Amino acid sequence: MERLHWVQHRCRQLLAADSGRGWYSAPDGLPNKSSPQRCSGKRRTVFARHGPQQQEYQAVSKDYKGNAICTTKYNMLTFIPMNLFQQFHRAANLYFLFLALLNWVPVVEAFQKEITMIPLLVVLTVIAIKDALEDYRRYLFDKKVNNNVVRVYCGKQKAYIEQCWKDVRVGDFVRLSCNEIIPADMLLLYSSDPRGVCYIETANLDGETNLKQRQVVSDLPLQGVEFTPESFHSHIECENPNNDLSRFRGYMEHSSGVRVGLHNCNLLLRSCTIRNTETVVGIVVYAGHETKAMMNNSGPRYKRSKLEKRLNTDVLWCVLLLIVMCLTAAIGHGLWMKQLKDPVFLVDGETSPALAGFYVFWTMIIVLQVLIPISLYVSIEIVKLGQIYFIHNDLALYNEQLDSRIQCRALNITEDLGQIQYLFSDKTGTLTENKMVFRRCSIYGVEYPHEENARRLEVYEAEKNEAAGHSLTLKSSCSGKSLSCRSLSCNRSSVSLHTLTAESEEEEDQLSNHIQPRTSAFCSRMAKEVVPDPELVRKLNWLCSPVLPLSDVSPGATSSLELTYITDFFLALAICNSVVVSSPSQPRHVVPEAQPLKSLEEIKLMFQRFSFSPFSALSTLSPPQIRGSPRSFTSRLFARGKTGSFTFSASPSSTTEGPDLGQDSNLETTNLRRKLDSSARVEEGEAGKVDDRETEDDRKSTQTDPDGARQHVEDITREVDTESDPDDELLYEAESPDEAALVHAARVYRCTLRGRSAESLLVDLPGIGSLSVQLLHILPFDSNRKRMSVVVRHPLTGEVVVYTKGADSVIMDLAEAPKGAEQAEEIYSHIRKQTQKHLDSYAREGLRTLCIAKKVVEEEEYEVWLKRQLLAESSIENREELLLESAQRLETNLTLLGSTGIVDRLQEEVPETIEALQRANIKVWVLTGDKQETAINIAYACKLLRPNDQLLTANCGSKDACAAILEELKLEVQRGEDSVTEQTAAGNHGESSSGCVAGFILVIDGRTLDWALQEELKGDFLELSCCCRAVICCRSTPLQKSQVVRLIRDQLNVMTLAVGDGANDVSMIQVADVGIGISGQEGMQAVMSSDFAISRFKHLSKLLLVHGHWCYSRLANMILYFIYKNVMYVNLLFWYQFFCGFSGSVMTNSWVLIFFNLIFTSVPPLIYGVLDRDTPADTLMQLPELYQAAQSSKVYVPYLFWITVLDAFYQSLVCFFVPYFAYAGSDVGELSFGSPINTSALLIILLHQVIESHTLTWIHALVLVLSGGFYFGFVLLFSVCCVTCSPPTNPVGVETLQMSQPLFYIVCALTTVTALLPRLLFRALHGSLHPSAMKKAAQVDKVDSEKYRRRMQRWNLSHSRSNRLPVCADNPGLEPSTGTEVS
As annotated, the active-site residues are 426
Report the alpha-carbon distance of residue 698 to residue 717 in Å, rounded: 20
- Chain center to CA of 447: 36
Rg of the chain (C-alpha set):
39
Report the alpha-carbon distance of residue 832 to residue 836 in Å, rounded: 6
3-state DSSP of 104-173: CCHHHCCCCHHHHHHHHHHHHHHHHHHHHHHHHHHHHHHHHHHCCEEEEEECCCCEEEEEEHHHCCCCCE
CA distances from 980 to 216, 989, 1233 (A): 68, 7, 69
Report the alpha-carbon distance of residue 877 to residue 875 in Å, rounded: 6
DSSP class per residue in 699-723: HHHHHH-HHHHHHHHHHHHHHHHHH
Q: Which own/partner contact pairs does 98-101 have at CB distance under 8 Å and 24+ positions apart?
A: 99/365, 99/366, 99/369
- Residues 859 and 800 sit within 8 Å (Cβ to Cβ): yes
- Chain center to CA of 963: 35
| Residue 1322 parent element (H or E) | helix 1302-1329
Interior CA angle at 815 toward 814 and 821, to 5°?
A: 140
- Residues 1041 and 1086 sit within 8 Å (Cβ to Cβ): no
Q: How many helices (H) does the chain have, and how many strands (E)?
A: 49, 33
Question: Could you give phi then psi for residue 157, rounded to 5 degrees?
Answer: -85, -10
- Residues 420 and 1108 sit within 8 Å (Cβ to Cβ): yes
Question: Could you give phi then psi for residue 774, rounded to 5 degrees?
Answer: -70, 120
Q: How many CA atoms lie within 13 A of 707 on its CB side?
A: 0
Report the alpha-carbon distance of residue 888 to residue 891 in Å, rounded: 5
Omega before 229 within 30 of 0, i.e. cis: no
Q: Which residues pair with 200 in a beta bridge?
A: 212, 274
- Helix then strand then coil, in percent of the chain rounded to 5, is 50, 15, 35
- Residues 910 and 431 sit within 8 Å (Cβ to Cβ): yes
Report the alpha-carbon distance of residue 218 to residue 225 in Å, rounded: 15
| Residue 322 parent element (H or E) | helix 306-339
- Residues 385 and 411 sit within 8 Å (Cβ to Cβ): yes
- 197-201 vs 212-215, strand pairing mode: antiparallel
Q: Which own/partner contact pairs does 913-918 have at CB distance under 8 Å and 24+ positions apart?
A: 913/1097, 913/1098, 913/1100, 913/1101, 914/942, 914/943, 914/944, 915/943, 916/1101, 916/1105, 916/1181, 916/1184, 917/423, 917/1100, 917/1101, 917/1104, 917/1105, 917/1184, 918/1029, 918/1030
**Secondary structure of residue 903 in the 3-state scheme:** strand
As a dihedral over the C-alpha atoms of residue 746, residue 749, residue 751, residue 756, rounded to 10 degrees, the angle is 40
Question: What angle separates helix 91-102 from helix 113-146, to the nearest 10 degrees?
Answer: 140
Single-letter amino acid, residue 387: Q
All residues at 6 or more sequence positions from 78 whose CB lies less than 8 Å from its CB, including other chains: none
**Secondary structure of residue 423 in the 3-state scheme:** strand
- Chain center to CA of 811: 28
